A and B are shown apart, each in its own frame.
Chain A
Amino acid sequence: EDQVTQSPEALRLQEGESSSLNCSYTVSGLRGLFWYRQDPGKGPEFLFTLYSAGEEKEKERLKATLTKKESFLHITAPKPEDSATYLCAVFTGANSKLTFGKGITLSVRP
């Protein structure tokens, strides 16, 4: 069964303090890895899709990378508005579903 583990569970940063969020996965035949951002009580908001090891994607202060066993979401000089839960999900195509990790709750203090 596909497994996705995100760490740490929670992360508190000072504004401007860069860090990385980790998503490790155990799947058979990864076809895509997705990052979403979720604000409290809202639906997940799509950030990135990565398809193969070595791939990187960037958007504003966020950069996602992928290896054969894990993905990182790097946050450079975060701002308080980056505070949210960041979800990682894998798609293997075995049954057309996304398998999500439990998320990392990021809090950025001004």
Chain B
Amino acid sequence: DSGVTQTPKHLITATGQRVTLRCSPRSGDLSVYWYQQSLDQGLQFLIQYYNGEERAKGNILERFSAQQFPDLHSELNLSSLELGDSALYFCASSVGLGTDTQYFGPGTRLTVL
């Protein structure tokens, strides 16, 4: 158990809908990262927050957004969902920035029908 929690574990929804994925980092960690994992693309970095501020962006679609709250938990919002958005979404956390080890949560499996 990494200490990173994610809810829900599974999410099944329809195209065009909007969902919110939630992540609680390990105690003491200030950085939160979001990744998408699909069979053909592997693990892809989406976005990073540090102590409430956005720090880095990867290949995140405009339909996707995230935020980190004062209690350091983070939410990833996915809207206008398409079939291709079906994937595993992972949250990771680290103490700070740079090469601090990123510890991953158990993931949320999103299925868009």
Contact = CB atoms under 8 A, between A and B. Distances in A.
Contacts of A93: 98-99
Nearest to B50: A96
Contacts of B42: 100-103
Chain B contact residues, majority secondary structure: strand
A95 B56 contact: yes
Interface of A: 31-32, 34, 36, 41-46, 49, 51, 87, 89, 91, 93, 95-103
B22 interface: no
A76 to B, nearest CB: 24
Contacts of B107: 41-43
Contact of B101 (A34, A95, A96, A102): A34
B101 A43 contact: no
10 contacts: A31-B99, A34-B101, A42-B106, A44-B90, A44-B104, A96-B56, A97-B48, A100-B42, A100-B44, A102-B42
